[in-house]
Structure 1
Amino acid sequence: MSLLRIKKPTTRKGKKILLAREPQLHEKVKNTLFIEGRKSSGDIKQALKDLYHIKKPLCKVLSRSNDITPFEDTSSLQYLAEKNDCTLFMFGSTSKKRPNNLILGRMFEHELLDMVELGIKEYKGLQDFKNDKIGTCVKPCLVFNGPKWGQTEEYRRLKSLFIDAFHRDTVQAIRLQGIEHVLSFTATDDNQIMLRSYKILLKKSGHKTPRIELTEIGPSIDFSIRRTKIASDDLYKLSRKQPKQLKVSKKKNITRDELGNTHGRVHVGKQNVTKVQTRKVVDGKQLVYTKPKFVVQVFSVRLRLRATRLGNGKRICESSTRKYDIPHTNSIFRVPTKSCVDTLQPSTLGKLSQEASSDLIRATSERGHSELINLQH
Structure 2
Amino acid sequence: MQRIVKPKTQRGRRALEKKEPKIFENSKNALMFKGGNTSQTVTQILKDWHTLKKPNATLFSKKNATKPFEDQTSVEFFASKADSSLFMFGSHSKKRPHNIVIGRLFDGQVLDMVEFGVTNFTSLQDFKTLKAATGIKPCLVISGDFFEDSDDNRRIKNLLIDFFRGPTVEKVSLSGLEHVISITATNGKIYLRSYRILMKKSGSKVPRVELEAMGPAADLVLRRTRLASDDLFKRALKKSATAKPKKKKNISRDDLGNKLGRIHMKTQAFDKLQVRKVKGLKKRKAEQEVNGTENEMKKQKTEETAAT
Task: Give the TM bin, normalised by the shorter chain.
Answer: 0.7 to 0.9
Deviation track 1:29-78 (CA, whole Å, cap 9, x = no partner) reads 11111111111111111111111111112111112111111111101111
In structure 2, C-alpha distance between the alignment counterparts of 1:194 and 1:174, rounded to whole Å = 26
Deviation track 1:240-292 (CA, whole Å, cap 9, x = no partner) reads 111111111212221111111111122345x497xx9899xxxxxxxxxxxxx
In structure 2, C-alpha distance between the alignment counterparts of 1:84 and 1:24, rounded to whole Å = 17
Structure 1, unpaired ranges of 5+: 280-377
Residue 192 of structure 2 corresponds to 195
In structure 2, C-alpha distance between the alignment counterparts of 1:186 and 1:244, rounded to whole Å = 36
In structure 1, C-alpha distance between the alignment counterparts of 2:262 and 2:89, rounded to whole Å = 52
Residue 100 of structure 1 corresponds to 98
Residue 72 of structure 1 corresponds to 70
- The Cα RMSD (Å) is 2.3
Question: Which is bigger in relative contact order (C-alpha 8 A, separation at least 6)?
Answer: 2
In structure 2, C-alpha distance between the alignment counterparts of 1:36 and 1:49, rounded to whole Å = 11
> Which one of the candidate residues 217, 220, 224 is aligned to 2:221?
224
> Which one of the candidate residues 154, 158, 161 is aligned to 2:159?
161
Correspondences of 1:1-377 after superposition (within 5 Å): 5-188=3-186, 190-268=187-265, 271=267
SS state at 1:177 partner: helix
In structure 2, C-alpha distance between the alignment counterparts of 1:11 and 1:95, rounded to whole Å = 44
Give the counterpart letter for 1:26 in structure 2.
F
Q: Tell me the percent identity.
A: 47
Task: Judge conservation of contact 1:4–1:79 (CA < 8 Å) in 2.
Answer: no
Q: 1:277 to 1:212 in 2, by over 3 A?
A: closer
Aligned residues: 274
Deviation track 1:165-213 (CA, whole Å, cap 9, x = no partner) reads 223333232322211110000011x321000111111111111111111
1:10 Cα deviation after fit: 4.4
Task: Judge conservation of contact 2:100–2:118 (CA < 8 Å) in 1.
Answer: yes
In structure 1, C-alpha distance between the alignment counterparts of 2:120 and 2:268, rounded to whole Å = 76
1:222 Cα deviation after fit: 0.2
In structure 1, C-alpha distance between the alignment counterparts of 2:177 and 2:273, rounded to whole Å = 58
In structure 2, C-alpha distance between the alignment counterparts of 1:120 and 1:242, rounded to whole Å = 36
1:28 Cα deviation after fit: 1.4
Residue 311 of structure 1 corresponds to none
Structure 2, unpaired ranges of 5+: 275-308
Deviation track 1:98-133 (CA, whole Å, cap 9, x = no partner) reads 111000001111100010001102111122222222
In structure 2, C-alpha distance between the alignment counterparts of 1:229 and 1:72, rounded to whole Å = 11
In structure 2, C-alpha distance between the alignment counterparts of 1:79 and 1:27, rounded to whole Å = 20
In structure 2, C-alpha distance between the alignment counterparts of 1:150 and 1:227, rounded to whole Å = 18
Q: 1:214 to 1:268 in 2, by over 3 A?
A: same
SS state at 1:244 partner: coil
1:12 Cα deviation after fit: 4.3
Higher helix fraction (1 or 2): 2
TM-score (norm 1): 0.68
SS state at 1:128 partner: coil
Task: Judge conservation of contact 1:254–1:264 (CA < 8 Å) in 2.
Answer: yes
In structure 2, C-alpha distance between the alignment counterparts of 1:10 and 1:215, rounded to whole Å = 52
Task: Judge conservation of contact 1:103–1:116 (CA < 8 Å) in 2.
Answer: yes
In structure 1, C-alpha distance between the alignment counterparts of 2:240 and 2:96, rounded to whole Å = 41
1:153 Cα deviation after fit: 1.9
In structure 1, C-alpha distance between the alignment counterparts of 2:102 and 2:142, rounded to whole Å = 17
Q: Which is further off, 150-159 or 118-127? A: 150-159
TM-score (norm 2): 0.83
Give the counterpart letter for 2:253 in structure 1.
R
In structure 2, C-alpha distance between the alignment counterparts of 1:98 and 1:4, rounded to whole Å = 37
Deviation track 1:297-323 (CA, whole Å, cap 9, x = no partner) reads xxxxxxxxxxxxxxxxxxxxxxxxxxx
SS state at 1:50 partner: helix
